[in-house]
Amino acid sequence: MTPRNCLVTGASRGIGSVIAGRLSAAGHRVALTARGADQLAEVAAKLSGPSLCLPADVTDPAAVDNVFSTVEDAWGPVEVLVLNAGAAVAKPMAKLTDDEWYGQLELNLTAPFRAMRRAIPAMTRSNWGRIVVIASIAGKIGEPNLSAYTASKHGVIGLMRAAAAELAKTGVTVNAVCPGYVDTPMTDGWVGKIAARTGKDRAEIRTALEHKQPIRRLITADEVADVVDLCVASAAITGQAITVDGGAVQS
């Protein structure tokens, strides 16, 4: 494949860092953004090709615009956009605050919208582009104690579908990857919060998450990256929310 200019959000750890590594190994130029500068530098040091470390808060519109402008000044327009930044607030709906609700929508739905809006004009001008949103199986089913996260992930899948339909004739594809429970620091954080709230043993909680998936283990970040690779390579896959969860949600 022709080397492309890639931007990966939430690239400092977990799924995002693995995706960045895959894109770099495939010969692409990879710009990394997340809030942690030190962690971004550690990821970039392991990449095999050109990279840019661009610390930013993706919920800040000015910061996002600056990230895109920096990539454009260095390499040209973003051609592959992987929207991985996200987080979850785990608590019963009755205890969820307005600030937590709006924070989840801002990070998991509005930030991807702003990044897509910024990337699309250049992609359509060149008649080529790939946008991949890392969503969740929570975008397809209801998850208890994750109401704001679930709503935001349902929303971002709807956003992806609308964008894919709008851009179908332009050479730009838009897809979502919907992992189940993945072996990442984010899942470790969930386990810790559940343990603190319930008093249960962390190992017991982790096993329960593993058993939610028929393959009886957590998904690996590499298995999520496999599907991102497919979405980047294919011009015929668009408007899809591809589930990677060991068979828990069959769709």
Q: What residues are annotated to the active site?
A: 149
Tokens of 21: 């590594």
Q: How many angstroms separate the CA atoms of 47 and 215, rounded?
A: 31
Query: Per-residue DSSP letters for 110-146?
Result: IHHHHHHHHHHHHHHHHT-EEEEEE--GGGTS--TT-
Q: From 46, 26, 2, select the one nearest 11 (Cα to Cα).
A: 46
Q: From 149, 175, 173, select the one nearest 160 (Cα to Cα).
A: 175
Q: From 137, 134, 135, 156, select the one nearest 213 (Cα to Cα).
A: 137
